[in-house]
A and B are shown apart, each in its own frame.
Chain A
């Protein structure tokens, strides 16, 4: 069994598809051609899964995790610092946070009254206050947050993780997006596989029933679907063997196969009815606010996916909070609704994962694409601020109850330990046992990385 993959495919008269069906041989082969078969990490991982809590639109740092008493003192005054052009450039006076901050836990980590539930998990959080974004515009900042690059078409971080590590579940995709309904600015391609093989793209599950369409076989005779698939595989396999190597066909064959297995698994994993009432209450599935209920279902589903071995789960927020976290006006109303929707479900997820011992092996990341200005847009909103914002991580080998980096006294620019998304990605991969400088894919004539030529590992974050 020492011949190369190419030789193997050429010699295989039956084609590759039939082999995939046998389900055994691919695992005996060096380099396992099944792209989702789990790969050996570079070094022992602390995190085996990631849940990315994507705060679409840009949470205001000075209203959430980066308190600025100076804003209280100078509220309503013109900024004494140089204000750079903003997106709408309708910049008003300094605007203090409408929310009080409380210190939580043994660490005394300050969290605003937007997030009392997340605050109760403060000792598990590593709050990074020195993030910066590559663009002040939503689509480009979204692409950068997901792919490290401001233009569209690059593989998303979930796709890189899938490519680097494969899945721990045979019956589910390695990268799942549980879609709350709010399509990010820049589109669903934020979750795409880019130039990586198509198997690694984010599979979008919905909060509707069914979570995924077309998982019910339509054939009236038992076994007919299997026979159809095998015939399809045979034909694809012949073409595949003739071409010797055609990634698109390989991906298609494997996607058919995975889709077949998902017919069984997806309805089960997305069915929350088996969860105890107490668990549902913990997440807020019975909460009075509708969007809390939806996000609670997403968080609970995320736990169930992680429990079954999915590598990377990403949650989008729900529409119906007025707007994403993008309060150019009516900051109080918009941020409150957005916070109310996610606060209790996220805290429930942390507590539930912790109780099951899964938090140690699951990295949670809470981040938007940028922050918001400490001065007003108009009178009661905040514009985009890429020059300094907050995000937090928990679990997966992350040290809790700590802050890292700092913005200036107004929360406007980073003044200590400035980071970019490359640094975030490098550390996420590191926690999963991947050396980000060695996870490469040949594209456009060079070995491309998620972190381009950047990315600093920050050991202070790790347990």
Chain B
């Protein structure tokens, strides 16, 4: 494929860069660039479709080849970045993006993208993820983290380059208090994985879980839930695994989960009837639902083995 760049656009680009540079506007992926890509590109290059195997819906996809042949962005080098190359092609070129007739970014928007690449294609979110946890957080949130840790909870980054948190408060046990719950709410928007297994008390008062907007894994085994909590939990957009083993529930509580996108759900020993579990399994074929094991399986294996001379010694 031959890169085609018109003299007009090049001149405009250079003029634009110097104009921006003098004003010292530093564009940021999360604030400025992601919304542009979302508007013009992600329909065809996102989670739904990946035309030419390109995805442009996360920072990571922009900076790594993914399953495509090229890295869309070369930091500090707008004119070496394939994304910009496609954007600058005349619409008559079959490789021009977005394709002819589709809504396309304006010249000013293309300049923003090139300006952003020129300054290193930074993402404030990703930069923050590289910091130690304490430096990511403002004073109020840091205080909440420190307080939860002092109480015996574990609060840490999920992984080294991340702003998401792993929170495990099982260590608080019966001491889990309303103050702890308030602290947890302060950090809620950052929590990706949360284990509250075995906790009671204030948990039972929490009906609204919507502030846990990034939550993916939630462990509530052996805990008590507010009857209204499940509908709030079920509507968390990213939640993929939910543990409710030995958590008192009734069949009607679980019907709320018929809307869920959960990948796995654990409802053993929770008081849910086998019929309701079966109903849910049929209703949610894409969700793995684990309930109690069946002791008769083990008994059957033992009986069969007794009659099989090569399994056990007579």
Contacts and interface: CB of A to CB of B under 8 A. Distances in A.
A282 B293 contact: yes
A340 B298 contact: no
Contact of A355 (B171, B293, B301, B304): B293
Contacts of B243: 356-357
Nearest to B221: A356
Nearest to B295: A278
B301 A282 contact: no
B311 interface: yes
B264 A344 contact: no
Contacts of B264: 357, 360
B305 A116 contact: yes
A24 B157 CA distance: 18
Interface in B207-250: 219, 221, 241, 243, 245-246
A41 B154 CA distance: 14
A168 B295 contact: no
Interface in B236-292: 241, 243, 245-246, 264, 266, 268-269, 290-292
B124 interface: no
A355 B298 contact: no
A42 B162 CA distance: 10
Contacts of B311: 99, 113-114, 116
A43 interface: yes
B290 A347 contact: no
A351 B290 CA distance: 10
B290 A354 contact: yes
Given A24-B150, A44-B158, A356-B268, A336 B221 contact: no
A27 interface: yes
Nearest to B132: A30
B140 interface: no
A281 B266 CA distance: 21
B24 to A, nearest CB: 30
Contacts of B31: none
A113 B310 contact: yes
Interface residues of B, number: 44
Contacts of A86: none
B154 A354 contact: no
A28 B134 CA distance: 9
Given A27-B150, A40-B160, A357 B290 contact: yes
B295 A281 contact: yes
B312 A340 contact: yes
A423 B158 CA distance: 25
Given A120-B301, A355-B245, A336 B313 contact: yes
Contacts of B157: 40
B312 A309 contact: no
A332 B311 CA distance: 10
B245 to A, nearest CB: 5
B233 to A, nearest CB: 15
B308 A113 contact: yes
A330 to B, nearest CB: 11
Contacts of B133: 40
A379 interface: no
A47 to B, nearest CB: 13
Contacts of B219: 357
Contacts of B46: none
A356 B266 contact: yes
Contacts of B149: 24, 27-28
Given A40-B159, A44-B159, A355 B295 contact: no
Contacts of A433: 159
Contact of B168 (A44, A282, A309): A309
A170 interface: yes
B227 to A, nearest CB: 21
Nearest to B244: A357
Given A356-B266, A357-B241, A333 B313 contact: yes
Interface in B148-190: 149-150, 152, 154, 156-160, 162, 168, 170-171
Interface of A: 23-24, 27-28, 30, 38-45, 98-100, 113-114, 116-117, 120, 168-171, 278, 281-282, 284, 307-309, 332-333, 336-337, 340, 344, 347-348, 351-352, 354-357, 360, 433
5 contacts: A98-B310, A99-B310, A356-B268, A357-B221, A357-B266
Q: Which 9 A-B pairs have the closest CB atoms?
A: A357-B266, A357-B243, A351-B293, A355-B268, A113-B311, A24-B150, A27-B149, A44-B159, A356-B245
Given A117-B298, A344-B302, A357-B266, 11 more contacts: A24-B149, A28-B134, A28-B149, A100-B310, A114-B311, A116-B304, A284-B298, A336-B313, A355-B290, A360-B241, A433-B159
